[in-house]
Structure 1
Amino acid sequence: MFYELLATIFAGLAGGGLIYGLSRLTRGRIPHSWTIAGAALVMIAFSIWNEYNWFSRSAAQLPDGVVVVAASESRDWYRPWTYALPVVPRFAALDTNSIRRNPDVPQQRIADLYLMERWRAAVGVRIAVDCARPAQARLEQVTYGEEGAMISDSWEQMATDDPLIVAACG
């Protein structure tokens, strides 16, 4: 967050410097107040660009085997442009390299799910996935029955084409 603030300030300095340079080149035909307005506009534009590109930049930096399975769009009254083009401030990514299977119950799996949110540290959650239902539950809410089958009252039903089910079971 600190580096983004610094980048925004430097973008404003660059924008203001550009307008100031143009004012000097035109021998003062551009009012000096435009320098401040130019700096402010560049800072606002950079902040909006940074918000919209956070998701794609973060997803591109994920290691091999970690796939995005959900992205949450946000629309806010204080950012009216998000009603036309929503911003993605958080997403979930499944680590397919972490998937573990019980040979006695092959339709059930355990995997690591990472919850990423702008301005916050990533949170890792271990989940249980039942490919036969299809459903998922947090591993803390699961008990083990006969032959190692996972049992839970909090299985969350999911569609067979849900990206989490496809990534974990595919």
Structure 2
Amino acid sequence: MEQDFSAAGIAGLASRHLCTVEFEVGGGIFGIGASPFGDQRIGYVSGGRFFGSRINGIVLPGGGNWSRAGRLASGSAVGTFDARAVWQTDDGVLVYLSYNGRSVVPDDVRAEFSDPAGPPVDPARYYLRIAPVFETASEKYGWLNGLLAVGVGERTDFGVRHQIHEIL
């Protein structure tokens, strides 16, 4: 598919909704602990689903998020993401997804945010952003290979939900 790269222009960015993805973190988060390199945690992706106008399917078990946590000068908790997962579209195509990102959780939200069994926490009270990239051998979904995306996330009782937008 040929693209018109002049549409977005140099002055700014445009985006459109690509999909919503719900990552299930069934095994919880394993705290490795604070090392000289930061407080390392690992979350195992046990499944999930994604849905949008052009792509739908399931998140296969086996991915994960290798995150680090620290503190900002303001005292808020800050985290980084290093995540990978494999998606399977409704028509059986495999798509590899990797993303980095950031979270900022103020102290007055931290206890609620850290308790997945608790009630949902208003996403306006914390910052959770990702920058996913995709890889697939599929001709049908090959357009994903040239795409940069950003996601806005929220903690859920099953893991995390991201609204992913492709940058045009």
Higher strand share: 2
Larger Rg: 1 or 2?
1
Q: TM-score, normalised by structure 2?
A: 0.29
